[in-house]
């Protein structure tokens, strides 16, 4: 059996026992996936991943506390696929910016989850349709952006708020807001989520890049 033929070992992390049991039952119908451990508390995520060889951590962000802050650390150890009930684009993007390689909504069919898991296993990134559509619809390169505007866009895409952008670029917060207003008009984007998608698409920032 080759590495790609071997079962995909998954750790399921969700604070609802019934949901975990349901996933385990469903995966029994898909021999290519094997559940090697279950986690019900966010505090147990890191210890479980450390002691359990696995190929993917299937993580619910809303456990007994938000697990978003854990994604960056966990993603250094194992590929993370987020399974969430939230369908807000900003939440999905935040998870991917933190290091998740896939975001799957809980209302999706098992076939979609399997598609995402296969993509993660092969080293790809799997985006939910809402982000795929936004990325496809985002404007192309706009050479009218100034160097300063591109610097600000990059920092926003890395998750910085206006005050942090101002501090890092040694300019006023008012100046940052003025530049952002101009950028929104030039690119015809509506909010910071669409702006971040544009920045990722244009290569101004990588999905897994962290602000420094």
Q: What are phi and psi of 104, to 5 degrees?
A: -125, 130
User: What's residue 1's pLDDT?
Assistant: 37
Round to the nearest angstrom and report the end-to-end CA distance of the chain. Answer: 43
pLDDT digits (tens, 9 = 90+) for 25-79: 999 999 999 999 999 999 999 999 999 999 999 999 889 888 888 888 898 899 9
Q: Does domain 8-134 have CATH number 3.40.50.2300?
A: yes
Sheet holding 33-39, edge to edge: 33-39, 8-13, 56-59, 80-84, 102-105
What does the CA dihedral 33, 37, 42, 47 come to, rounded to 10 degrees?
-120
CATH number of this structure's domain 138-201 = 1.10.10.10
Cα–Cα dist 147/86, whole Å: 36
pLDDT digits (tens, 9 = 90+) for 148-196: 999 999 998 877 889 999 999 999 999 999 999 999 998 888 778 778 8
Judge contact between 67 and 42, C-beta under 8 A: yes
Judge contact between 74 and 30, C-beta under 8 A: no
Q: What are phi and psi of 18, to 5 degrees?
A: -65, -40
Domain positions in the chain are 8-134, 138-201
Mind giving me the DSSP string for 70-82? HHHHHHTTS-EEE
Statement: residue 23 has pLDDT above 80: yes
pTM value?
Answer: 0.70
User: What's residue 206's pLDDT?
Assistant: 61
Residue 188 CB partners (closer than 8 Å, separation 6+): 139
Percent of the chain exceeding pLDDT 90 equals: 50
pLDDT digits (tens, 9 = 90+) for 83-125: 999 888 888 888 887 888 899 999 999 999 999 999 888 877 7
Q: Of the candidates 125, 57, 120, which has an alpha carbon nearest to the alpha carbon of residue 92?
A: 125
């Amino acid at each position: 059996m080759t590495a790609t033929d071997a079962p995909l070992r998954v750790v399921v992390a969700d604070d609802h026992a019934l949901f975990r049991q349901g996933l385990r039952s469903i995966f029994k119908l898909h021999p290519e996936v094997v559940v090697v451990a279950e986690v019900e508390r966010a505090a147990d995520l890191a210890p479980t991943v450390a002691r359990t060889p696995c190929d993917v951590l299937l993580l619910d962000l809303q456990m007994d506390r938000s697990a978003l802050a854990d994604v960056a650390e966990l993603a250094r150890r194992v590929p993370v696929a987020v399974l969430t009930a939230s369908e807000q684009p900003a939440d999905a993007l935040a998870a991917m910016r933190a290091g998740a390689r896939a975001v799957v909504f809980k209302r999706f069919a098992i076939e979609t989850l399997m598609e995402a898991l296969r993509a993660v296993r092969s080293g790809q990134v799997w985006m939910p349709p809402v982000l795929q559509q936004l990325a496809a619809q985002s404007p192309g390169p706009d050479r009218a952006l100034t160097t300063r505007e591109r610097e600000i866009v990059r920092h926003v895409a890395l998750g910085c708020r206006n005050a942090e952008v101002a501090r890092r670029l040694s300019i006023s917060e008012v100046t940052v807001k003025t530049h952002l207003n101009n950028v929104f008009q030039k690119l015809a984007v509506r909010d910071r989520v669409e702006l971040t998608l544009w920045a990722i698409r244009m290569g101004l920032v990588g999905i897994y890049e962290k602000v420094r």
